[in-house]
Chains A and B, each alone.
Chain A
Amino acid sequence: MSEFQIEIKGASYSYPVREGYNVKAVRNLSLSIRKGEFVALTGMNGSGKSTLAKLLNGLFQPNEGEILIDGISTADEDNTFEIRKKVGMVFQNPDNQTVATIIEDDIAFGPENIGVEREEIIKRVDEALEAVGMSEYRTRTASKLSGGQKQRIAIAGVLAMKPDILILDESTAMLDPNGRKEIMDVACRLNRSGITVVNITHNMDEAALADRIVVLRKGRVAIDGTPKEVFASGLIEACGLTLPPITELARELEKEGFEFDGVVINAEELAEGLCRLLK
């Protein structure tokens, strides 16, 4: 088996929008992700990031190229559900992904679909709720929850399928800052427990939390590296994105005569650096 858990080999995907018009959402894209990585996948609207996410669990099939999850091709129809079990996906709108009114029923939906035994489902629902810190909400209705809580329920619904990979497809885009924090906390915790996380976002603060950032531009990988490397590349703006506020500030400070070792990506680091220069 390959050293990579996710292997995208020259994948392309296009879809028609209007008569005679095709959008090439993903173009001859290659990318490999190791088990346990925390990757932020970013890019401006229309850069192909959400399409790429849907390619990863076989919701879309590439027109060209191949995508392997643990060595299994997503194009292999016999393994479609095997892949969807491995690659759990949480979407953007918290209201559009719960199927059941009662929270525990919704979380059980996935395991029920794949025919897990009753006792095991109950155990999984317990664990999934525990993992997202929503145990006490088990028998309540989802419609009364905050956006962040709804998304945590959506994550629990995916966890109940015991995935190896969690894809957050702009799952924080519609949330308020507190909701974002909740979701990022859960994602980081899950990553520490061994799950590979791919967080699709255009929030740069959030991207900076990942081990690795992949920036897409027009369906291709434009920048790929650690947050520091990516923000130091000088290409962020060219990709239609902005630097995180802290990095932006550090850059402004450089104009004022400050010097830092490399690119600064978090407040703690910046404060340290500034103190060293000012004391």
Chain B
Amino acid sequence: MSAIEISNLNFVYSKKTPNEKQALKNINLSVEEGAFLGLVGATGSGKSTLIQHLNGLIKPQDKKRMSVVVNGMSATDRKNLKKLRFEVGMVFQYPEYQLFEDTVAKDVAFGPKNMKLDKEEIDRRVRRALEVVGLDYDKFASRSPFDLSGGEKRRVAIAGVIAMQPKILVLDEPVAGLDPIGRREILALVKKLQKEVSPTVIIVSHNMDDMAQLADRIVALKDGEIIADGTPKQVFCNRNLIKEAGLDLPTATSLADMLIARGVELPRDIVTMEELAKELGASLRKKRSQAVADDNDETKIGEDADGGFYAESYDEDVEVEGVEVNGVEVNGVEDPDGEDEDV
């Protein structure tokens, strides 16, 4: 079943003024339930306008010709509006700037309250949402959201959306402004949310490495038009299109291109680091075994090492340049050391 069905969607800002701008042009898009869709495009390409149509924050300008249908509900129908908002959870950029209640629990309860759920259900959902985003209920529920660290605030904000248990989760640049560990954790969280809460996920991002790794489908926008739609491999294969859209290629893809230009044989549809490493490893082994065969030598080479990225963990008290790296805790700031996580 299609979770989202958009047809002929156009949107013009500031109609009939000198600032008139067509933000969306003839968008036709259907998203299957269970998809992890990456929406990419340069700033101003229409991504925000598009996602805001999904929960009726922006209404189609022409009800007759355009349609946006989410889980069978038309977004043009005012009756559906409230339900739509709860069906499509939307995490905006820097969502922590929208926290407003005096306790974390109350803030997370805002959505469920608007759903007019009963008190017990609200409480249950708040607990569950905090737990899913990795915040201990007993520790955080009664704290003020304004006293938390940046990463924690963002988790609270995400919990506030998750608590509505939306079937579709839309996230606009969820890792913007976070440090590398924060990024990794939030991306892992998004994956987890898809499994446990919202089966369909749409994520807007500028980071093509993340997109190549996470998304199973990528839709690229340029000046309000969909210029590419397919698996990461299909989309990134069209190098010119990606460049024209003002986007980067994934690191692995651009490195592969550099190698291909230098005469190394590689498939052109490499998008993740793992793939590239595997491919290159294979060619190396091939080359060496050839060399071995040529030399009639029997030495065994090319030991295979496996293991995910980021698998390294380091000892705490190592001395570098005479300065000690120690593990003293600073005022509740969590120590990330020794954590191994896969994205």
Beta-carbon contact of A240 and B320 below 8 Å:
no
Q: How far is the CA of A261 from the CA of B318 in the complex (A)?
A: 23
Mask for A27-53, Cβ within 8 A of B = 1, else 0?
Answer: 000000000000000001110000000
Stretch at the interface among B72-80, B108-116, B118-126, B274-282: B274-282
| Contact (A249, B180) CB under 8 Å given A219-B330, A235-B318, A237-B310 | no
Write out the residue numbers on chain B whose beta carbons fall within 8 Å of the beta carbon of A123.
none
Number of A residues contacting the other chain (C-beta, 8 Å)?
56
**Within 8 Å of chain A (Cβ to Cβ): is B147?**
yes
Write out the residue numbers on chain A whose beta carbons fall within 8 Å of the beta carbon of B251.
245-246, 249, 267
Number of A-B contacts (CB under 8 A): 161
Beta-carbon contact of A240 and B285 below 8 Å:
no
Beta-carbon contact of B255 and A246 below 8 Å:
yes
Stretch at the interface among B31-39, B192-200, B258-266: B258-266
Give residues 220-279 of A contacting B (CB, 8 Å).
220-225, 233-235, 237-242, 245-246, 248-249, 252-253, 255-258, 267-268, 270-271, 274-275, 277-279
Beta-carbon contact of B252 and A249 below 8 Å:
yes
**Within 8 Å of chain B (Cβ to Cβ): is A24?**
yes
**Within 8 Å of chain A (Cβ to Cβ): is B176?**
yes
**Within 8 Å of chain A (Cβ to Cβ): is B1?**
no
Which of A44, A223, A242, A256 meets B310, CB within 8 Å? A242
Number of B residues contacting the other chain (C-beta, 8 Å)?
68
| Contact (A274, B280) CB under 8 Å given A218-B328, A267-B258 | yes
Beta-carbon contact of A275 and B179 below 8 Å:
no
| Contact (A274, B330) CB under 8 Å given A44-B179, A178-B246, A249-B277 | no
Beta-carbon contact of B323 and A221 below 8 Å:
yes
Beta-carbon contact of A278 and B283 below 8 Å:
yes
Q: How far is the CA of A179 from the CA of B184 in the complex (A)?
A: 22
Write out the residue numbers on chain A whose beta carbons fall within 8 Å of the beta carbon of B43.
146-147, 176, 178-179
Q: How far is the CA of A236 from the CA of B288 in the complex (A)?
A: 33
Beta-carbon contact of B318 and A248 below 8 Å:
no
Beta-carbon contact of B309 and A238 below 8 Å:
no
**Within 8 Å of chain B (Cβ to Cβ): is A100?**
no
Q: How far is the CA of A240 from the CA of B321 in the complex (A)?
A: 18
Stretch at the interface among B161-169, B215-223, B225-233, B298-306: B298-306
- Output the nearest chain A residue to B276 by Cβ-Cβ distance: A249
| Contact (A46, B285) CB under 8 Å given A222-B323, A223-B320, A246-B251 | no
Beta-carbon contact of B323 and A255 below 8 Å:
no
Closest 3 CB pairs of A and B: A256-B281, A255-B305, A242-B180
